[in-house]
Structure 1
Amino acid sequence: MSLIPGIAGKHGGCVPVNLTRITVPKEATIPAWERYKQLRQVNPAPHSAYLRLHPTTFLSSPPERFLSYSRPRVLLLAGSRKEIAENLMIVDLIRQDLHNAVGENVNMTKFCGVEEYETVWQLVSVIEGSLPEGAPVTVDDGLGWEVLRRSLPPGSMTGAPKKRSVELLKSIEGHERGLYSGVFGCWCAGGGGDWSVIIRSCFLHDSKKGSDEEWIVGAGGAITALSDPEAEWEEMKAKLNGVLCGFGASS
């Protein structure tokens, strides 16, 4: 893995570009539901999901929430000195997204707090925004959708600034990511919603008949000027193996 020249930023020149590796395991015979239960056992996560919408199957066990709102809140995840700089830049990015949606009432209530899951340690930052005092209640009904629209794609899965990072990634990766690094979640009739980032996930599309299955798995990491190529490679493999263990395989 080689480092990609970034764009100099105000936080030490550490502009992340999130590279993705796509793996397609073959000759699988385990039923999708059993595979999902295995995935839940080996990689438990608070935003797990199983969706079977023929001919498409989607299994996911991501620890990363993207956006939750009764009042909008974004959780961004990272780790290490390099990741703290990355986290700070993405915090700035999301604060701007929320400012564009709700105005001035945006605050960072937590920065790089440590959260422990069964297979990972993570640094978590929380940004909260609300409508100005006295805003009509009717405006709040569609606020969640507006915040979601303005926040996509997740900055932790692209890099900052988003537009330039996406341009770089498109030219480097040379393929579409599909569902990977998007979001999935729920929206209720009362206006609330909860959305997580599609990572630690696998995707199957029954495009051809036969006993073989082709599951697409995405894994990657943020590359900055502080990145160590070997460390980034090992991090990517650790993320990938968290999903592949559900297949009885590893990278």
Structure 2
Amino acid sequence: MNNAEINVFKQKALQWATSFEVYCCLDSNKYSDPYTQYDCLIAIGSDHTLAANAGNAFDKLHSFYEEHKNWMFGLLSYELKNEVEDLSSQHTDQLNFPDLFFFIPTYLIALQGDEIKVIKGDPSIIEIIHQIKLNHSTSKPNLKIESKFDKETYIETVEKLKTHIKRGDIYEINFCQEFFANHAEINPLAVYNELNTLSPTPFAGFFKINHKYILSATPERFLCKRNNRLISQPIKGTAKRSKNSVEDEQIKIALKSSIKEQAENVMIVDLVRNDLTKSAVQGSVKVDELFGIYTFPQVHQMISTISCELNPTTHFIDAIKNTFPMGSMTGAPKIKAMELIDAYEKSKRGAFSGSFGCISPSGNFDFNVIIRSILYNEKEQYLSFQVGGAITYAADPESEYEECLLKASAILKVLGQ
């Protein structure tokens, strides 16, 4: 099958999946790196599910995996921080995703190159999916999008966070703001398809958990395991693209050589190295790439790659727990940064800045970072997306605010704003 035919099949499979209560699509958008196993995985229906709140959720996931040793897809909410560390969240949550949710799919379809493969379930579903007639929804959602911060309050808050940095409480914090819409009615799959067309990214995905949805165009990998190696690829450093190719190349070079962006990036690299050490064979943690520049439709990003050899005495679920939540979404030192996030942000993060992905029967896994993502509770008609950035001593509050709007641009566009 050619590219166009594979894409049509993917659209039909996602449309067929909408009749199920639970399904998950992980799409690399044909982005190839040494760790990507499939172009796209579509997990549909559930034979077994696990939903747990922070407390002993990771232990339950450990038991769930050991009991089934099957393909499983799932969500790790940011709120699991309250289990990993002695923390809590004071903010209200109108989305109400579970803190942890995993399911073993009834059907699992893999797309790789020009091939379609049914990994789990009756192979005849390929023919059923081929017969689907595609619905092409073109209507833009009619939403009133608001922000929990106006520009002035955002800038004031960044100044307060810089005061914490000046007095040595922290040296970097990922500070986020929520955009939201009440009385929101959208076609989740149509919005996701448009977002993925406008902003195709390597760790994109669509996750439906009953009446709750994650529509993600995330460019960031949290953590993956390939055999006995763990790999983390934090993003820190963002620059806007230019339509002028010469200017775009200059922006890329400026990002690569920016002392500010390098400082942000290396702080998180150090944090990730420290997190990986907890699960690593002694002396095996290494930085494979520092300050790599990667280009996406809206932005250039600075991405570093850190890896280690997993200690044979450490279960891979514990390795996930030992690095969670990801340092790129907290700041450093990690615990103090998370305390200040709860104090200064105005929304509970919930699924945002958590992760979703999959675990294979052999214990390999791949999890993204939930950024550049729309979260939607259909029952409550509440839609939300959050954006943020790293605040350091050198941060300019006005520039940080503009960077938030840049990161939100693709989502605002598909929501008709």
TM-score tier, shorter chain, comes to: 0.7 to 0.9
2:231 equivalent to 1:53: no
Secondary structure, aligned partner of 2:194: helix
2:236 equivalent to 1:78: yes
Q: Which residue type is aligned with residue 202 of structure 1?
A: I
How far residue 199 of structure 1 moved from its aligned partner, in angstroms, is 0.1
Matched ranges for 1:31-70 at <5 A:
31-70=187-226
Aligned partner of 2:272 among 77, 94, 105: 94
Q: Residue 49 and residue 9 in structure 1: after superposition, are their counterparts in 2 closer, same or farther (change >3 A)?
A: farther
Secondary structure, aligned partner of 1:218: strand
Q: Is the 8 A contact 1:48 1:60 kept in 2?
A: yes
Aligned partner of 1:225 among 393, 397, 408: 393
CA distance in structure 2 between the aligned counterparts of 1:245 and 1:153, rounded to whole angstroms: 29
2:332 equivalent to 1:160: yes
Q: Is the 8 A contact 2:220 2:233 kept in 1?
A: yes
Q: Residue 195 and residue 41 in structure 1: after superposition, are their counterparts in 2 closer, same or farther (change >3 A)?
A: same
Runs of 4 or more, structure 1, over 6 Å off, are none
Q: Is the 8 A contact 1:78 1:87 kept in 2?
A: yes
CA distance in structure 2 between the aligned counterparts of 1:75 and 1:201, rounded to whole angstroms: 18
Q: Which residue type is aligned with residue 242 of structure 1?
A: A
CA distance in structure 2 between the aligned counterparts of 1:232 and 1:49, rounded to whole angstroms: 27
Q: Residue 63 and residue 131 in structure 1: after superposition, are their counterparts in 2 closer, same or farther (change >3 A)?
A: closer
Structure 1: gaps spanning 5 or more residues: none
Aligned partner of 2:283 among 104, 111, 115: 104
Q: Is the 8 A contact 2:371 2:387 kept in 1?
A: yes
Q: Which residue type is aligned with residue 82 of structure 1?
A: K
Q: Residue 19 and residue 245 in structure 1: after superposition, are their counterparts in 2 closer, same or farther (change >3 A)?
A: same
User: For residue 123 of structure 1, what is the aligned residue in structure 2?
Assistant: 302
User: For residue 151 of structure 1, what is the aligned residue in structure 2?
Assistant: 323
Secondary structure, aligned partner of 1:108: strand
Identity %: 33
Q: Is the 8 A contact 2:293 2:301 kept in 1?
A: yes
Provide the alpha-carbon RMSD of the alignment. Answer: 2.1
Q: Residue 8 and residue 72 in structure 1: after superposition, are their counterparts in 2 closer, same or farther (change >3 A)?
A: farther
Structure 2: gaps spanning 5 or more residues: 1-154, 238-257
CA distance in structure 2 between the aligned counterparts of 1:27 and 1:81, rounded to whole angstroms: 44
Matched ranges for 1:191-206 at <5 A:
191-206=363-378
Q: Is the 8 A contact 1:6 1:224 kept in 2?
A: no
Q: Which protein shows a greater Rg?
A: 2
CA distance in structure 2 between the aligned counterparts of 1:9 and 1:62, rounded to whole angstroms: 34
Q: Residue 14 and residue 88 in structure 1: after superposition, are their counterparts in 2 closer, same or farther (change >3 A)?
A: farther
TM-score, length-normalised on structure 2?
Answer: 0.54
CA distance in structure 2 between the aligned counterparts of 1:75 and 1:131, rounded to whole angstroms: 16
How far residue 85 of structure 1 moved from its aligned partner, in angstroms, is 0.6
Aligned partner of 2:379 among 184, 196, 207: 207
Q: Which residue type is aligned with residue 290 of structure 2?
A: F
CA distance in structure 1 between the aligned counterparts of 2:408 and 2:337, rounded to whole angstroms: 22
2:355 equivalent to 1:183: yes
Q: Residue 205 and residue 87 in structure 1: after superposition, are their counterparts in 2 closer, same or farther (change >3 A)?
A: same
How far residue 73 of structure 1 moved from its aligned partner, in angstroms, is 0.7
Q: Is the 8 A contact 1:15 1:86 kept in 2?
A: no
Cα distance per residue 1:14-37 (max 9 Å; x no partner): 822111111113455441111111
How far residue 161 of structure 1 moved from its aligned partner, in angstroms, is 0.6
Kindly tell me the number of residue pairs found equivalent between the two proteins: 236
Q: Residue 179 and residue 190 in structure 1: after superposition, are their counterparts in 2 closer, same or farther (change >3 A)?
A: same
Q: Residue 101 and residue 241 in structure 1: after superposition, are their counterparts in 2 closer, same or farther (change >3 A)?
A: same
How far residue 104 of structure 1 moved from its aligned partner, in angstroms, is 2.4
- Tell me which of the two structures has the higher relative contact order, counting C-alpha pairs closer than 8 angstroms and 6 or more residues apart: 1
Q: Which moved more, 1:80-89 or 1:55-64?
A: 80-89
TM-score, length-normalised on structure 1?
Answer: 0.87
